Amino acid sequence: MQQSRTGSTDAGLHTRWNEALIGLVAVLVLVNFVVDSAITAPLLVLPEMLDHFGTNQAAWLNATAMLAGVMWAPLLGKCADIYGKRRVLVLTLLISGAGALVCAVAPILWVFVAGRMLQGAALAAVFLSVAIVRGVCAPRIAMIIVGIVTSGSAVLNIASRFLIEKLAMEFGFQILFLVSAVVAAAMAICVRNVVPESLIKTPGKIDVGGALLLGGGIAGVISYVSLGSDLGWLAVGPLALLVGGVAALARWLLVSSRKPDPLIDVRDLGGPLVLTLLVVFLGAGSYQSMLQLIPLIGDVSADQQLGYGLADQGSVALLLAAPGLGVMLGGPGAGWLAARIGPASTLAGAVMLGTVVTIGMFLGASQLPAALCCAFLLGVTVGALGTAGFNMAGSVASAERQGIVSSLVMVMVSIGSVVLNFVGAAVLESTVVVVDGETTNSATGVFSCIAIASGAFAIAAVLAVMLVRSTRLSRSPDLARDAV
């Protein structure tokens, strides 16, 4: 295959950096910044939103976009394989922007929630960006660029936090959604003009019924996990979501197994992909549960004699910034490493690092230097985990299935984050103690959360080692044939 001076092969794949590739990467990094503005940035103005709508149902405002994103993901991933990844990414950004406008002008809570459901489509931009990179770049450089694209927006996210808070104080929380809508529209234009359309497409049609069953089923079950603690586990609403979600998933499994072209062919997932998804589920969830715990530890002083606490050991503001800095290093670093030792080994290294670092939080719970180190390395872990997970899943999927396979990785990240966050919150809530008339988290709860996250990371590490072995075994016959 001949390589040109522009750094692309005769098949059109980029093999080294050039102006076109730099422009593409810059656009996709900014696209992923749109995801943060749609999914997580609104949490900064959560108290203002609750006051505006006169409600205490923070879960509806907090979780709706993520849950909707999980529902959108399989449908948009399949559409990308059939109709083209650029086209679907543009559509995704426009849907998200429209949702942001609805949120900005929403007169009542339920209109706002509907806007958040539309805005959640932005979650698909992450895996669509990955699929685009793998479609236009040779495998070795694609692995590095996936790390940059998925992690590069972290620096923009850190800087934007201060601007968001200032704008919200001056103009109200609605300004955040107006800005998100404008940015989404601008990036849709940039994607349309800069990103090339997919040359490889999958013939077929969208299984709309299967998409609704799968997405609705996943969203229903996760909604029960996310909202049950606020609304009541036995309340009619959460129970209806659980029952409906389980029924939808059961129906989807039954129906999809009979269709010749289902949304996701569970019979053709393969062992390596299943192991990858399980590792991502456990690793992402463990990281999120630790991220939830860090500010709680930072708000407690060791003088309270609870057995943990960092508030009296100096500034703990870096505890919240350290993971973001780690992500910026971990993502590109994992891409560089995967290009040399393979994505499976890189993924295994990421979860092993996560296991060690999470165990280190037993010391970090009471020692600020250890906590800062662990927080930074946890960021490195999650940056590497996401990059290696996408690279591994992409390496075992055909070119025609990159969109739907990448969407599965994003779904597992979301599900893992919600489930293990809930587990950690439930443990903390069930072990609280009263000190000087105030309810606070006990050392038993804090250290139990760390133990649960460490155990989940350890299980993920075992699965990752199995993944490395399975990929090596699958390559052995190919190597033997090449030798012959």
Give the pLDDT of the chain (484 residues) as one tens digit per residue: 444 434 544 457 888 899 989 999 999 998 988 888 888 778 777 778 888 888 776 666 767 787 788 888 888 988 999 999 999 999 999 999 999 999 999 999 889 989 998 998 998 999 999 999 998 999 889 999 999 998 877 777 766 767 777 777 888 889 889 989 999 999 999 999 999 988 778 887 787 888 888 878 887 887 787 677 667 778 888 889 889 999 998 998 888 777 777 777 777 778 899 999 999 999 999 998 898 888 888 888 888 888 888 887 766 667 777 888 898 899 999 999 999 999 999 999 999 999 999 999 999 998 989 999 999 999 999 999 999 999 999 988 888 888 888 999 988 988 888 788 888 878 888 888 887 777 888 999 999 999 999 999 999 999 999 999 988 766 544 433 333 3
- Paired with 9 in beta bridges are 3
Q: Is 178 exposed, middle or buried (0-12, 13-18, 19+ CB in 10 A)?
A: middle
Statement to judge: residues 258 and 274 lie in one domain: no
Co-location of 392 and 481 in the same domain = yes
pLDDT of residue 3: 43
Looking at the fold, whether 438 and 470 belong to one and the same domain comes out as yes
Strand partners, 438: 435
Same structural domain for residues 380 and 457? yes
116 and 2 in a common domain: yes
Alpha helices in 299-342 (DSSP H): 318-341
CB 116 within 8 A of CB 238: no
Classify each residue of 326-344 as buried b or exposed e, where b means 16 or more C-beta atoms within 10 Å of its C-beta. bbbbbbbbbbbbbbeebbb
Residue entry with tokens 């309340």: 235
The single-letter DSSP state of residue 171 is H
Structural domain tally of the chain?
3
**Residue 150 and residue 275 share a domain:** no
Q: Six-digit token pair at 24?
A: 């593409």
User: Cα separation of 33 and 151, whole Å?
Assistant: 10
Residue-level pLDDT at 10: 42
Alpha-carbon distance 62 to 65, whole Å? 7
Among left, alpha and beta (phi > 0; psi -120 to 50; other), residue 172 is left
Whether 308 contacts 449, CB under 8 Å: no
CB atoms within 10 A of CB 321: 15
Q: Are 82 and 74 in contact (CB under 8 A)?
A: no
Q: How far is CA 334 from CA 328, 345, 362, 402, 434, in A?
A: 11, 10, 26, 20, 44
74: domain CATH number is 1.20.1250.20
123: containing domain: 1-203
Which of helix, strand or coil describes residue 436? coil
Q: Do 128 and 173 share a domain, yes or no?
A: yes
Q: In this structure, are 199 and 293 located in the same domain?
A: no
Element (H, E) at 59: helix 58-83
Q: What is the pLDDT of residue 474?
A: 62
Strands 438-440 and 433-435, bridge-based pairing: antiparallel
Whole-angstrom CA distances from 21 to 7, 27, 184, 343 are 9, 10, 21, 22
How far apart (Å, rounded) are the C-alpha atoms in residues 175 and 91?
Answer: 23
State residue 332's pLDDT score: 92
Where is 215: in which H helix or E strand? helix 208-231
Same domain, 350 and 310: yes
CA distance 360 to 376: 12
- Give 325's contacts (C-beta < 8 A, 6+ positions apart): 154, 158, 376, 379
Query: Which of residues 221, 236, 262 is at a domain's end?
Result: 262
* 56 and 126 both lie in a single domain: yes
Q: Quote the tokens at residue 211.
A: 């998409």
Q: Which of 262, 291, 309 is the last residue of a domain?
A: 262
Minimal CA–CA distance to 78: which of 25, 29, 117, 131? 131
DSSP-derived secondary structure letter, 437 = T
Position 482 scores a pLDDT of 37
Report the length, in residues, of the chain.
Answer: 484
Q: Tell me if 73 sits within 8 A of 124, measured CB to CB.
A: yes
CA-wise closest residue to 457 among 353, 374, 361, 367: 353
Where a domain ends, among 162, 180, 203?
Answer: 203
d(CA 315, CA 323): 16
Domain co-membership, 243 together with 296? no
Half-sphere exposure of residue 446: CA atoms within 13 angstroms, side-chain side: 23
Shared domain check, 256 and 120:
no
